Structure 1
Amino acid sequence: MNKIAVVTGTTRPGRNNIAVAKWVLENAQKRSDAQFELVDIADFDLPVLDEGMPAGFQQYANEHTKKWAQTIAQYDGYIFVTPEYNHSISGSLKNALDYISVEWNNKAAGFVGYGSAGGVRAVEHLRQIASELQLAHVRNQVQLSLFTDFENFSEFKPADMHQESLTAMLDQLVPWTAAMKTLR
Protein backbone atom coordinates (compact mmCIF):
# COMPACT_ATOMS: atom_id res chain seq x y z
CA MET A 1 0.00 0.00 0.00
CA ASN A 2 1.29 3.47 -0.86
CA LYS A 3 2.49 5.71 1.94
CA ILE A 4 1.65 9.40 1.93
CA ALA A 5 3.18 11.91 4.32
CA VAL A 6 1.27 14.91 5.65
CA VAL A 7 4.14 17.42 5.82
CA THR A 8 3.87 20.43 8.11
CA GLY A 9 4.76 23.76 6.57
CA THR A 10 6.28 25.79 9.37
CA THR A 11 8.24 25.50 12.59
CA ARG A 12 6.96 28.77 14.04
CA PRO A 13 6.25 28.76 17.80
CA GLY A 14 2.50 28.77 18.47
CA ARG A 15 1.82 27.72 14.89
CA ASN A 16 -1.66 26.89 13.62
CA ASN A 17 -0.04 24.48 11.21
CA ILE A 18 0.04 21.42 13.44
CA ALA A 19 -3.73 21.58 14.08
CA VAL A 20 -4.41 21.79 10.35
CA ALA A 21 -1.98 18.95 9.61
CA LYS A 22 -3.62 16.75 12.26
CA TRP A 23 -7.07 17.49 10.78
CA VAL A 24 -5.78 16.43 7.35
CA LEU A 25 -4.20 13.31 8.83
CA GLU A 26 -7.27 12.28 10.82
CA ASN A 27 -9.51 12.62 7.78
CA ALA A 28 -7.06 10.92 5.45
CA GLN A 29 -6.60 7.98 7.81
CA LYS A 30 -10.30 7.15 7.42
CA ARG A 31 -9.48 5.98 3.91
CA SER A 32 -8.37 2.44 3.11
CA ASP A 33 -6.57 3.16 -0.19
CA ALA A 34 -3.26 4.46 1.26
CA GLN A 35 -1.37 4.81 4.53
CA PHE A 36 -1.01 8.33 5.89
CA GLU A 37 1.53 9.60 8.44
CA LEU A 38 2.49 12.98 9.84
CA VAL A 39 5.97 14.36 9.12
CA ASP A 40 6.61 17.48 11.18
CA ILE A 41 9.54 19.48 9.83
CA ALA A 42 10.05 20.90 13.32
CA ASP A 43 11.17 17.44 14.49
CA PHE A 44 14.26 17.60 12.27
CA ASP A 45 15.84 20.84 13.55
CA LEU A 46 17.15 21.69 10.10
CA PRO A 47 19.40 24.75 10.25
CA VAL A 48 19.56 27.11 7.29
CA LEU A 49 20.84 24.90 4.47
CA ASP A 50 24.33 23.83 5.44
CA GLU A 51 25.23 21.14 2.91
CA GLY A 52 28.26 21.85 0.74
CA MET A 53 27.16 19.77 -2.24
CA PRO A 54 24.02 20.25 -4.35
CA ALA A 55 21.17 18.05 -3.11
CA GLY A 56 20.93 16.19 -6.43
CA PHE A 57 24.26 14.47 -5.72
CA GLN A 58 22.91 12.92 -2.48
CA GLN A 59 26.32 13.36 -0.85
CA TYR A 60 24.96 14.49 2.50
CA ALA A 61 27.55 15.45 5.11
CA ASN A 62 25.27 16.16 8.06
CA GLU A 63 23.29 13.73 10.19
CA HIS A 64 20.21 15.98 10.20
CA THR A 65 20.21 15.89 6.40
CA LYS A 66 20.62 12.13 6.29
CA LYS A 67 17.74 11.68 8.75
CA TRP A 68 15.53 14.05 6.73
CA ALA A 69 16.41 12.32 3.45
CA GLN A 70 15.72 8.84 4.88
CA THR A 71 12.37 9.96 6.24
CA ILE A 72 11.19 11.61 3.02
CA ALA A 73 12.48 8.80 0.78
CA GLN A 74 10.16 6.24 2.38
CA TYR A 75 6.99 7.96 1.12
CA ASP A 76 5.26 7.64 -2.23
CA GLY A 77 3.41 10.95 -1.99
CA TYR A 78 2.98 14.06 0.11
CA ILE A 79 0.36 16.47 1.33
CA PHE A 80 1.96 19.80 2.13
CA VAL A 81 0.14 21.88 4.72
CA THR A 82 1.36 25.41 4.16
CA PRO A 83 0.63 28.75 5.73
CA GLU A 84 0.92 31.85 3.61
CA TYR A 85 3.70 34.17 4.72
CA ASN A 86 4.18 37.31 2.62
CA HIS A 87 2.40 35.78 -0.38
CA SER A 88 4.54 32.63 -0.26
CA ILE A 89 5.49 29.61 1.83
CA SER A 90 7.42 29.81 5.08
CA GLY A 91 11.20 29.98 5.05
CA SER A 92 11.36 26.78 7.10
CA LEU A 93 9.37 24.82 4.51
CA LYS A 94 11.47 26.17 1.64
CA ASN A 95 14.60 25.28 3.57
CA ALA A 96 13.36 21.72 4.21
CA LEU A 97 12.48 21.27 0.54
CA ASP A 98 15.89 22.54 -0.58
CA TYR A 99 17.85 20.14 1.62
CA ILE A 100 17.10 17.16 -0.61
CA SER A 101 16.12 16.53 -4.21
CA VAL A 102 16.14 12.96 -5.51
CA GLU A 103 14.03 11.79 -2.55
CA TRP A 104 11.11 13.90 -3.87
CA ASN A 105 11.43 12.84 -7.53
CA ASN A 106 8.65 11.02 -9.39
CA LYS A 107 6.19 11.20 -6.56
CA ALA A 108 2.83 12.96 -6.19
CA ALA A 109 1.80 15.92 -4.06
CA GLY A 110 -1.36 17.62 -2.86
CA PHE A 111 -1.73 20.91 -1.03
CA VAL A 112 -3.61 22.38 1.91
CA GLY A 113 -3.10 26.11 2.27
CA TYR A 114 -4.30 28.64 4.79
CA GLY A 115 -4.01 32.35 5.30
CA SER A 116 -5.89 35.59 4.81
CA ALA A 117 -6.54 34.65 1.17
CA GLY A 118 -6.91 30.91 1.72
CA GLY A 119 -3.22 30.24 1.26
CA VAL A 120 -3.61 30.25 -2.52
CA ARG A 121 -0.53 32.37 -3.22
CA ALA A 122 1.62 30.13 -1.03
CA VAL A 123 0.32 27.05 -2.82
CA GLU A 124 1.04 28.65 -6.20
CA HIS A 125 4.67 29.19 -5.17
CA LEU A 126 4.82 25.70 -3.74
CA ARG A 127 3.57 24.27 -7.05
CA GLN A 128 6.54 25.88 -8.83
CA ILE A 129 8.97 24.40 -6.32
CA ALA A 130 7.26 20.99 -6.52
CA SER A 131 7.60 21.00 -10.30
CA GLU A 132 11.34 21.60 -10.04
CA LEU A 133 11.56 18.71 -7.54
CA GLN A 134 9.77 16.48 -10.06
CA LEU A 135 6.70 16.16 -7.85
CA ALA A 136 3.51 15.68 -9.85
CA HIS A 137 0.92 17.83 -8.11
CA VAL A 138 -2.81 17.40 -8.31
CA ARG A 139 -5.20 20.16 -9.29
CA ASN A 140 -7.55 20.08 -6.31
CA GLN A 141 -6.41 21.76 -3.12
CA VAL A 142 -7.83 22.85 0.20
CA GLN A 143 -8.07 26.59 0.90
CA LEU A 144 -8.60 27.62 4.52
CA SER A 145 -9.21 31.18 5.68
CA LEU A 146 -7.71 32.67 8.81
CA PHE A 147 -10.89 34.74 9.09
CA THR A 148 -13.51 32.00 8.88
CA ASP A 149 -11.73 28.75 9.77
CA PHE A 150 -9.80 29.89 12.83
CA GLU A 151 -11.45 31.33 15.91
CA ASN A 152 -9.46 34.37 17.08
CA PHE A 153 -6.97 33.50 14.32
CA SER A 154 -5.63 30.66 16.45
CA GLU A 155 -8.15 27.89 17.16
CA PHE A 156 -8.72 25.78 14.06
CA LYS A 157 -12.40 25.23 13.36
CA PRO A 158 -12.77 24.39 9.66
CA ALA A 159 -16.07 24.94 7.89
CA ASP A 160 -17.80 21.72 6.84
CA MET A 161 -17.27 22.48 3.15
CA HIS A 162 -13.53 21.89 3.56
CA GLN A 163 -14.11 18.21 4.17
CA GLU A 164 -15.39 17.98 0.59
CA SER A 165 -12.37 19.79 -0.85
CA LEU A 166 -10.02 17.59 1.18
CA THR A 167 -11.78 14.47 -0.09
CA ALA A 168 -11.57 15.75 -3.68
CA MET A 169 -7.84 16.41 -3.31
CA LEU A 170 -7.26 12.97 -1.79
CA ASP A 171 -9.33 11.33 -4.52
CA GLN A 172 -6.85 12.75 -7.03
CA LEU A 173 -3.69 12.29 -4.97
CA VAL A 174 -4.04 8.62 -4.09
CA PRO A 175 -4.22 7.31 -7.68
CA TRP A 176 -1.53 9.75 -8.83
CA THR A 177 0.69 8.42 -6.05
CA ALA A 178 0.18 4.89 -7.38
CA ALA A 179 0.76 5.98 -10.98
CA MET A 180 4.00 7.81 -10.14
CA LYS A 181 5.35 4.70 -8.43
CA THR A 182 5.62 3.07 -11.86
CA LEU A 183 8.28 5.66 -12.79
CA ARG A 184 10.57 4.85 -9.89
Structure 2
Amino acid sequence: MPTTHVFAFAGSLREGSYNRALLRAAQEEAPEGVTIEIFDLTGVPLYNADLEAKGDPDRVTALKDGIRTADAVLIATPEYNHGVPAVTKNAVDWASRPPKDSPLDGKPVGIIGASPGMTGSARGQSQLRQAFEFTNSYCMPQPEILVARAHEKFDEEGRLTDEKTRSFLGKYLTAFEEWATRVSEDGR
Protein backbone atom coordinates (compact mmCIF):
# COMPACT_ATOMS: atom_id res chain seq x y z
CA MET A 1 0.00 0.00 0.00
CA PRO A 2 1.46 3.39 -0.96
CA THR A 3 2.03 5.89 1.81
CA THR A 4 0.53 9.37 1.80
CA HIS A 5 3.04 11.78 3.29
CA VAL A 6 1.36 14.75 5.00
CA PHE A 7 3.43 17.77 5.99
CA ALA A 8 1.78 19.53 8.94
CA PHE A 9 2.30 22.64 11.00
CA ALA A 10 0.48 24.48 13.76
CA GLY A 11 -0.01 28.21 13.47
CA SER A 12 1.12 28.75 17.04
CA LEU A 13 4.53 29.16 18.63
CA ARG A 14 3.29 28.40 22.15
CA GLU A 15 4.88 25.29 23.61
CA GLY A 16 1.58 24.14 25.11
CA SER A 17 -0.42 24.97 21.99
CA TYR A 18 -3.71 23.11 21.58
CA ASN A 19 -3.10 23.12 17.84
CA ARG A 20 0.27 21.40 18.18
CA ALA A 21 -1.45 18.90 20.46
CA LEU A 22 -4.16 18.42 17.82
CA LEU A 23 -1.48 17.57 15.26
CA ARG A 24 0.08 15.03 17.62
CA ALA A 25 -3.37 13.47 18.02
CA ALA A 26 -3.66 13.44 14.22
CA GLN A 27 -0.43 11.44 14.05
CA GLU A 28 -1.97 8.92 16.44
CA GLU A 29 -5.27 8.74 14.56
CA ALA A 30 -3.87 8.72 11.03
CA PRO A 31 -5.24 5.85 8.96
CA GLU A 32 -2.95 3.10 7.76
CA GLY A 33 -0.79 4.34 4.92
CA VAL A 34 -0.72 7.96 6.11
CA THR A 35 2.30 9.52 7.79
CA ILE A 36 2.12 12.99 9.30
CA GLU A 37 5.33 14.98 9.71
CA ILE A 38 4.96 17.93 12.07
CA PHE A 39 7.06 21.01 11.30
CA ASP A 40 7.75 23.61 14.01
CA LEU A 41 7.41 27.20 12.73
CA THR A 42 9.73 28.54 15.43
CA GLY A 43 12.48 30.49 13.70
CA VAL A 44 10.52 31.32 10.55
CA PRO A 45 10.93 35.12 10.35
CA LEU A 46 8.19 37.53 9.38
CA TYR A 47 7.91 37.70 5.62
CA ASN A 48 10.02 40.54 4.23
CA ALA A 49 10.73 40.95 0.50
CA ASP A 50 14.17 42.42 1.30
CA LEU A 51 15.04 39.31 3.28
CA GLU A 52 13.66 37.10 0.51
CA ALA A 53 15.81 38.92 -2.08
CA LYS A 54 18.92 37.86 -0.14
CA GLY A 55 17.81 34.22 -0.24
CA ASP A 56 15.38 32.28 1.90
CA PRO A 57 16.43 31.85 5.53
CA ASP A 58 17.15 28.22 6.51
CA ARG A 59 13.83 27.71 8.33
CA VAL A 60 11.93 29.04 5.31
CA THR A 61 13.84 26.69 3.01
CA ALA A 62 12.96 23.80 5.33
CA LEU A 63 9.28 24.84 5.32
CA LYS A 64 9.15 25.06 1.52
CA ASP A 65 11.06 21.80 1.04
CA GLY A 66 8.73 20.01 3.43
CA ILE A 67 5.67 21.24 1.55
CA ARG A 68 7.18 20.52 -1.86
CA THR A 69 8.06 16.89 -1.05
CA ALA A 70 4.77 16.09 0.71
CA ASP A 71 1.67 14.67 -0.89
CA ALA A 72 -0.53 17.04 1.12
CA VAL A 73 -0.38 19.78 3.75
CA LEU A 74 -2.31 19.85 7.02
CA ILE A 75 -2.53 23.09 8.98
CA ALA A 76 -3.82 23.38 12.53
CA THR A 77 -4.65 27.01 13.10
CA PRO A 78 -5.78 28.81 16.21
CA GLU A 79 -8.06 31.82 15.95
CA TYR A 80 -7.06 35.19 17.36
CA ASN A 81 -9.49 38.12 17.46
CA HIS A 82 -11.93 36.38 15.07
CA GLY A 83 -9.24 35.73 12.48
CA VAL A 84 -6.27 33.75 11.27
CA PRO A 85 -3.20 34.44 13.45
CA ALA A 86 -0.07 36.05 12.02
CA VAL A 87 2.04 32.92 12.62
CA THR A 88 -0.21 30.82 10.38
CA LYS A 89 -0.56 33.44 7.65
CA ASN A 90 3.17 34.20 7.70
CA ALA A 91 4.00 30.56 6.96
CA VAL A 92 1.57 30.58 4.04
CA ASP A 93 2.99 33.90 2.79
CA TRP A 94 6.55 32.51 2.75
CA ALA A 95 5.43 29.26 1.13
CA SER A 96 3.57 31.17 -1.61
CA ARG A 97 6.79 32.78 -2.85
CA PRO A 98 7.74 33.09 -5.60
CA PRO A 99 4.25 32.64 -7.06
CA LYS A 100 5.46 30.85 -10.20
CA ASP A 101 7.42 28.30 -8.16
CA SER A 102 5.36 28.04 -4.99
CA PRO A 103 5.38 24.61 -3.33
CA LEU A 104 1.70 25.23 -2.56
CA ASP A 105 0.72 25.31 -6.24
CA GLY A 106 -1.70 22.46 -6.84
CA LYS A 107 -1.14 21.03 -3.35
CA PRO A 108 -4.03 19.40 -1.44
CA VAL A 109 -4.53 21.23 1.88
CA GLY A 110 -6.50 20.42 4.99
CA ILE A 111 -7.26 22.96 7.69
CA ILE A 112 -8.15 22.01 11.26
CA GLY A 113 -8.09 24.01 14.45
CA ALA A 114 -8.63 24.16 18.18
CA SER A 115 -9.58 27.08 20.37
CA PRO A 116 -10.80 27.64 23.92
CA GLY A 117 -13.65 29.65 22.34
CA MET A 118 -17.05 28.36 21.29
CA THR A 119 -16.44 28.46 17.52
CA GLY A 120 -13.29 26.34 17.51
CA SER A 121 -11.31 28.51 15.05
CA ALA A 122 -14.09 28.66 12.41
CA ARG A 123 -13.40 32.28 11.45
CA GLY A 124 -9.64 31.76 11.31
CA GLN A 125 -10.09 28.71 9.11
CA SER A 126 -12.44 30.59 6.81
CA GLN A 127 -9.95 33.43 6.34
CA LEU A 128 -7.11 30.99 5.72
CA ARG A 129 -9.07 29.26 2.96
CA GLN A 130 -9.12 32.56 1.07
CA ALA A 131 -5.31 32.66 0.93
CA PHE A 132 -5.27 29.28 -0.79
CA GLU A 133 -7.28 30.64 -3.70
CA PHE A 134 -4.24 32.71 -4.68
CA THR A 135 -1.76 29.87 -4.17
CA ASN A 136 -3.83 27.53 -6.38
CA SER A 137 -4.01 25.02 -3.55
CA TYR A 138 -6.93 22.64 -3.16
CA CYS A 139 -8.49 23.05 0.29
CA MET A 140 -10.69 20.19 1.38
CA PRO A 141 -14.13 21.78 1.92
CA GLN A 142 -15.71 19.12 4.17
CA PRO A 143 -15.63 17.72 6.77
CA GLU A 144 -14.30 20.37 9.14
CA ILE A 145 -12.52 19.98 12.46
CA LEU A 146 -13.47 22.86 14.76
CA VAL A 147 -12.36 21.89 18.26
CA ALA A 148 -14.21 24.27 20.56
CA ARG A 149 -13.52 24.54 24.30
CA ALA A 150 -10.11 22.98 23.67
CA HIS A 151 -9.01 23.52 27.28
CA GLU A 152 -11.59 20.87 28.25
CA LYS A 153 -10.50 18.34 25.61
CA PHE A 154 -6.75 18.09 26.21
CA ASP A 155 -5.02 17.06 29.41
CA GLU A 156 -2.06 18.73 31.11
CA GLU A 157 0.41 16.86 28.87
CA GLY A 158 -1.38 17.98 25.71
CA ARG A 159 -3.04 14.64 24.98
CA LEU A 160 -6.45 14.75 23.33
CA THR A 161 -8.70 13.07 25.89
CA ASP A 162 -12.10 13.74 24.34
CA GLU A 163 -13.00 10.47 22.61
CA LYS A 164 -15.71 12.02 20.43
CA THR A 165 -13.21 14.55 19.04
CA ARG A 166 -10.57 11.83 18.63
CA SER A 167 -13.01 9.66 16.67
CA PHE A 168 -14.05 12.53 14.42
CA LEU A 169 -10.39 13.42 13.84
CA GLY A 170 -9.80 9.88 12.56
CA LYS A 171 -12.75 10.22 10.17
CA TYR A 172 -11.46 13.59 9.01
CA LEU A 173 -8.02 12.14 8.26
CA THR A 174 -9.53 9.29 6.24
CA ALA A 175 -11.50 11.86 4.21
CA PHE A 176 -8.36 13.99 3.85
CA GLU A 177 -6.35 11.07 2.48
CA GLU A 178 -9.11 10.40 -0.06
CA TRP A 179 -9.18 14.13 -0.97
CA ALA A 180 -5.41 14.30 -1.41
CA THR A 181 -5.41 11.17 -3.57
CA ARG A 182 -8.25 12.45 -5.75
CA VAL A 183 -6.62 15.87 -6.22
CA SER A 184 -3.29 14.27 -7.07
CA GLU A 185 -4.84 11.91 -9.59
CA ASP A 186 -6.95 14.63 -11.23
CA GLY A 187 -4.45 17.42 -11.59
CA ARG A 188 -0.88 16.70 -10.73
2:21–2:160 contact (8 Å) kept in structure 1: no
One-letter code aligned to 1:137: C
2:26–2:173 contact (8 Å) kept in structure 1: no
> 1:89 and 2:84 equivalent?
yes
- Equivalents in 1 of 2:17, 2:35: separation in Å? 25
- Equivalents in 2 of 1:51, 1:137: separation in Å? 26
Query: Quick one: which of 137, 140, 148 aligns to 2:139?
Result: 137
Counterpart of 1:109 in 2: which secondary structure?
A: strand
- Equivalents in 2 of 1:159, 1:176: separation in Å? 25
Q: CA RMSD in A?
A: 2.5
Counterpart of 1:41 in 2: which secondary structure?
A: coil
Counterpart of 2:76 in 1: which secondary structure?
A: strand
Q: Can you list the C-alpha shifts for 1:22-72, whole angstroms capped at 9, x where unaligned?
A: 1111111xx223322212222xx1111123498xxxx77123232321122
Larger strand proportion of the pair: 1
Higher relative contact order (CA 8 A, sep 6+): 2
Query: Quick one: which of 48, 51, 54 aligns to 1:50?
Result: 48
Counterpart of 1:162 in 2: which secondary structure?
A: helix
- Equivalents in 2 of 1:178, 1:86: separation in Å? 34
- Worse-superposed segment, 117-126 or 157-166: 157-166
Q: Shift of the alpha carbon at 1:127?
A: 1.4
2:56 aligns with 62
Counterpart of 1:180 in 2: which secondary structure?
A: helix
1:7–1:41 contact (8 Å) kept in structure 2: yes
One-letter code aligned to 2:57: E
Closer/same/farther in 2, CA of residues 171 and 67 from structure 1, 3 Å limit = closer
Closer/same/farther in 2, CA of residues 176 and 157 from structure 1, 3 Å limit = closer
One-letter code aligned to 1:159: D
Task: Name stretches of at least 5 consecutive residues in structure 1 with no aligned partner.
Answer: none
Aligned residues with identical type, % of pairs: 21
TM-score by length of 2: 0.80
1:99 aligns with 94
- Equivalents in 2 of 1:170, 1:151: separation in Å? 22
One-letter code aligned to 2:14: R
